[in-house]
């Protein structure tokens, strides 16, 4: 458990300092409370001087944080609990994304693709080589700018369960390195020295990448998370007050509403261009959408375009 101290210095300025990293035998509230108090005492700090407390943890720890908050308040009644707005937003977004089946499945698939595509040092080396070749080809075709700092080589980013911003980095890296990732996976698929399990994972990852469903939600979530990530960054600004924070939230809600109401055409055009570029089949948008979670005997005339535009886009 990491312990960070926030305090006001003699100049009246708010400062934060890392205090200690301590081992905990379990994560029950009493254990955490005793460890925190011990760290403060060891550093010559009076528990009665605490004027605030806050915790940055996963949603499955919410109950323990609430109990810990109560225990600290018993020792120091002025240790008011401070909500981390940015962290609360990230937890809310992660939880909300799991309410839409297509989006939940997308993140599961994206994590699987990233893990499979960067499973070994050899895969990472090939990713870098493929990126260099892809960038050179696109520059030659005039599809990329060559300005300073542009077209930097990167790596596939893994998303964390409770960090919404890490999902944005993961999606951006996958979009940028899509072609390079496909080449690496195909290389492993034909590598006779690879294990059967590895080749099986690669086959599954390639199947995911070559579906229009995955590509559509990849582009949709890139737009969606870009908007919410800007809010997350602003909420972590030390100079932000509650009035401006609420304004930022209101502006973000307006941008999300605009994406739902007016973003379909540009989104669909980008998806089509991406599919053409990477030789991915585009379904007939007027044909019936087959939902594998429903019985085939159930009468449902939902079209592909209705599914994408209404069932997925409008529910975000």
Given a cut of 80, is residue 47 above it in pLDDT? yes
Residue-wise pLDDT tens digits, 90-126: 777 777 777 778 888 888 899 899 888 887 777 777 7
Phi/psi at 195 (5° precision):
-70, 160
Instruction: State how far the Cα of 176 lies from the Cα of 155, in Å rounded to an integer.
Output: 10
The residues with which 15 forms a beta bridge, in sequence order, are 7
Does residue 299 sit in the same domain as residue 152? yes
Given a cut of 80, is residue 52 above it in pLDDT? yes
**Higher confidence at residue 65 or residue 188?**
188
The answer to whether 72 touches 33, Cβ cutoff 8 Å, is yes
pLDDT for 138 equals 63
Instruction: State how far the Cα of 56 lies from the Cα of 90, in Å rounded to an integer.
Output: 11
pLDDT, average across residues 291-314: 73
User: Is residue 174 domain-resident?
Assistant: yes
Give the residue from 64, 82, 100 where a domain finishes.
82
The answer to whether 168 touches 94, Cβ cutoff 8 Å, is no
Does residue 106 sit in the same domain as residue 242? yes
Does residue 288 sit in the same domain as residue 197? yes
Instruction: State how far the Cα of 136 lies from the Cα of 144, in Å rounded to an integer.
Output: 9
Instruction: State how far the Cα of 59 lies from the Cα of 81, in Å rounded to an integer.
Output: 17
Does residue 48 sit in the same domain as residue 172? no
User: Is residue 194 domain-resident?
Assistant: yes
Give the residue from 47, 82, 117 where a domain finishes.
82
Residue-wise pLDDT tens digits, 176-214: 889 888 988 888 888 888 888 888 898 999 999 999 889
Does residue 25 sit in the same domain as residue 110? no
Does residue 49 sit in the same domain as residue 147? no
pLDDT for 144 equals 53
Q: Report the helix count and the strand count for the chain, using DSSP H and E.
A: 12, 4
User: Is residue 159 domain-resident?
Assistant: yes
Residue-wise pLDDT tens digits, 37-46: 999 999 999 9
pLDDT, average across residues 2-16: 89
pLDDT for 163 equals 66
pLDDT, average across residues 227-249: 85
Q: Of 292, 284, 290, 313, nearest to 302 (Cα)?
A: 290
pLDDT for 19 equals 92
Does residue 72 sit in the same domain as residue 98? no
Instruction: State how far the Cα of 115 lies from the Cα of 107, in Å rounded to an integer.
Output: 12
Percent of the chain residues topping a pLDDT of 90: 20
pLDDT, average across residues 213-241: 88
Domain range for residue 265?
92-313
User: Is residue 184 domain-resident?
Assistant: yes
Does residue 116 sit in the same domain as residue 12? no
The residues with which 3 forms a beta bridge, in sequence order, are 20
Give the residue from 27, 62, 82 where a domain finishes.
82
User: Is residue 87 domain-resident?
Assistant: no
Does residue 144 sit in the same domain as residue 36? no
Does residue 227 sit in the same domain as residue 254? yes
Number of domains in the chain: 2
pLDDT for 223 equals 92
pLDDT for 148 equals 44
User: Is residue 154 domain-resident?
Assistant: yes
User: Is residue 263 domain-resident?
Assistant: yes
Structure tokens that stand for 41 in this block: 């005492």
User: Is residue 140 domain-resident?
Assistant: yes
Quickly state the pLDDT bin for 290 (edges 50, 70, 90): confident
- Calculate the average pLDDT of the chain: 82
Percent of the chain residues topping a pLDDT of 70: 84
Does residue 214 sit in the same domain as residue 180? yes
Q: Is 0.75 topped by the overall pTM? A: no
Given a cut of 50, is residue 149 above it in pLDDT? no
Does residue 178 sit in the same domain as residue 246? yes
Helices within 98-149 (DSSP H only) = 101-117, 121-140
In terms of average pLDDT, the best of 108-117, 127-136, 145-154, 306-315 is 108-117
pLDDT for 102 equals 85
């Amino acid at each position: 458990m990491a312990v960070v101290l926030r305090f006001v210095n003699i100049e009246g300025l708010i400062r934060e300092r890392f205090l200690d990293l301590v081992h905990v035998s379990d994560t029950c509230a009493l254990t955490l409370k005793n460890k925190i108090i011990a760290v403060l005492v060891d550093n010559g700090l009076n528990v009665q001087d605490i004027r605030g407390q806050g915790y940055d943890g996963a949603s499955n720890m919410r109950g323990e944080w609430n109990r810990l908050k109560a225990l600290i308040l018993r020792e120091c009644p002025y240790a008011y609990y401070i909500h981390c707005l940015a962290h609360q937003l990230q937890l809310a977004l992660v939880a909300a994304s799991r309410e839409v089946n297509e989006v939940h499945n997308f993140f599961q698939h994206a994590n699987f693709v990233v893990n499979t595509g960067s499973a070994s040092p050899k895969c990472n080396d090939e990713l870098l080589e493929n990126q260099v070749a892809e960038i050179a080809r696109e520059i030659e075709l005039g599809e990329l700018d060559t300005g300073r700092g542009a077209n930097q080589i990167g790596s596939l980013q893994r998303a964390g369960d409770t960090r919404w911003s890490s999902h944005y980095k993961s999606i951006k890296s996958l979009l940028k390195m899509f072609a390079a990732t496909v080449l690496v996976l195909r290389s492993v698929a034909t590598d006779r020295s690879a294990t059967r399990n590895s080749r099986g994972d690669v086959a599954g990852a390639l199947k995911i990448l070559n579906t229009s469903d995955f590509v559509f939600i990849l582009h949709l979530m890139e737009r969606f998370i870009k908007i919410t990530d800007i809010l997350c960054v602003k909420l972590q600004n030390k100079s932000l007050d509650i009035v401006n924070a609420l304004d930022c939230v209101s502006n973000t809600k307006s941008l999300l509403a605009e994406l739902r109401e007016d973003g379909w055409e540009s989104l669909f055009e980008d998806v089509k261009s991406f599919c053409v570029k990477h030789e991915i089949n585009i379904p007939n948008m007027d044909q019936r959408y087959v939902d594998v979670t429903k019985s085939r005997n159930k009468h449902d005339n939902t079209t592909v375009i209705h599914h994408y535009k209404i069932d997925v886009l409008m529910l975000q």
